[in-house]
Amino acid sequence: MQRRLRANWLKRDLLLRLLLPLLAIVLATAALGTYTAHRLSDRVFDRWLIDAARSVGALLQFEDGRASLDLPPAAETVLLFDDTDQTYFSVMAGARLLAGRRGIPEQGSDETQYRRGRAFDAHFDGQPVRVARVDLDSSAGGRVTILIAETLVKRQRSTRELTLVLWPMGALLMAAAAAIVLAVRRTVRPLEVIAARWNERSHASLQPIGDGDVPRELLPFATALNDLLDRIRSMLARERQFAATAAHQLRTPLAGLQLGLARAADANDLAATRSVISELSDTTQRTARLIQQLLTLGGIDPEARGDMHLRCCDLVALTRDVGATHADHAIAKAIDLELASAAQSLQILIQPELLAEALNNLIDNAICYTPRGGRVLIEVLTEPTMIRISDSGPGVPQNEREAVFERFVRGRLATGDGTGLGLAIARDIAALHGATVVLGDAAWGGGTSVTIAFAN
């Protein structure tokens, strides 16, 4: 339902973004067309009235500075004849009426100036009229004003007829709107099909989406989604494998604990009981260490590098502090544990708790796999920044150096009570810091060196 609603949102947004501008164009076109038709009609009829007024003016005569008009009845009949509108006129020489009717307004609203006269709206005889005014100045002196007024029936009819020309354009725009609606529906249809397919699938299904019916524009989206599903499938497969392997690894120490408890219950003397308790203590420590490593691995999210909060820390001091926590273990095995640094202090952006856990695992591995009386060297190097941990243990053959980074995998030469998780933890934590972990041979020719190399 939510997917369908979002598809409807997309359809609605597309329609709004396309139809609203189209509606604005329709309204603007209609308004502009109506205004243009009205103005065009006004100009045509205004010029006719002004020409008629000037025709009357051509009949004026001036004698001794006095104007007179000899307008034949036939000419007046032609001037006033109109089967649609009422027409009125007046010819005024100052306040003296030469011809026509008195009372025609000499000014009004919506005035338009033309080269040979002007026209304006007014009211006469209780009707709205359009008045044309022409002022003539004679060389003999005096001014004559000619006014011709006409009702608006023809103008309004002409405006309506001109406006009808806009209807085909409006019909085309409506057809365009219908085409847009259909196009948007067809465009959004593939999304609705994809959403319907997802609705029909099981929530546990992570199979990729078929791209056969996906429009070309949506192929990048489908590809990215399929890549995400593939990563999720891989992650879940790794987690299932990890859980199964962890259960197997925990089964052995737990069985040992149960067996030890049974032996302790059957012990006949104090010495035997103490021996069993000592073995139980070692098994408990190994189990606790295994559980701690499993919790560490479970808490590392390789995708969270961008969200990790880094702090500026002294890498030399951090390495020294972590190494010091393993001093008792090294002393118990008579191992020479050394720390060497190329600088007294080295500031670097890290997540100190996580990096300390990685160093803990690597140093613990080195001491665990180094035989009694051996050597473990911890070095902090600069240019480039690196931490190298070398031991005098059995080493890791060249052909196994990639495999030992997998969880619960140990080299065939490995001795001691390792879990096979230390290198995997170190690699994942290093990756979160943009660093790499590399296995090599120790500088003294035997054993192993593990290097965490930070990006400059």
Q: Which CATH class is domain 216-299?
A: mainly alpha
- Domain range summary for the chain, segments of one domain joined by +: 2-163, 216-299, 305-453
- By CB atoms closer than 10 A (0-12, 13-18, 19+), residue 225 is middle
In 58-91, alpha helices (H) = 73-80
Between strands 118-124 and 109-113, the pairing is: antiparallel
How far is the C-alpha of 210 from the C-alpha of 194, rounded, in Å?
Answer: 9
User: Whole-prediction pTM value?
Assistant: 0.48
CATH topology of domain 2-163: Beta-Lactamase (3.30.450)
For residue 102, how many other CB atoms are within 10 A of its CB?
A: 8
CATH number of this structure's domain 305-453 = 3.30.565.10
DSSP symbol at 210: P
How far is the C-alpha of 330 from the C-alpha of 324, rounded, in Å?
Answer: 10
The token pair at 89 is 């006129």
How far is the C-alpha of 75 from the C-alpha of 89, rounded, in Å?
Answer: 12
DSSP symbol at 85: S
Q: Are 221 and 195 in contact (CB under 8 A)?
A: no
pLDDT, position 164 = 75
Between strands 311-314 and 375-381, the pairing is: unpaired
pLDDT, position 128 = 94
Please identify which residue in the block is written with the tokens 């190329």. 342
SS3 labels along 285-322: HHHHHHHHHHHHHHHCCHHHHHHCCCEEEEHHHHHHHH
- b/e 402-412 (16+ beta carbons within 10 angstroms → b): eebeebebbbe
Q: Are 373 and 334 in contact (CB under 8 A)?
A: yes
The type of residue at 10 is L
| Stretch (H or E) spanning 119 | strand 118-124
Q: How far apart are the first and last CA of the chain?
A: 50
pLDDT, position 288 = 73
Mean pLDDT in consecutive groups of 10 residues from the start of the chain, 456 residues: 52 80 82 77 86 86 76 80 87 85 90 90 92 82 84 84 74 83 79 72 69 70 81 78 66 70 74 75 71 66 62 93 91 93 90 87 89 93 92 86 76 61 83 89 88 87
216-299 and 2-163 share a CATH fold: no
How far is the C-alpha of 376 from the C-alpha of 390, rounded, in Å?
Answer: 6
The type of residue at 77 is T
Q: Are 299 and 357 in contact (CB under 8 A)?
A: no
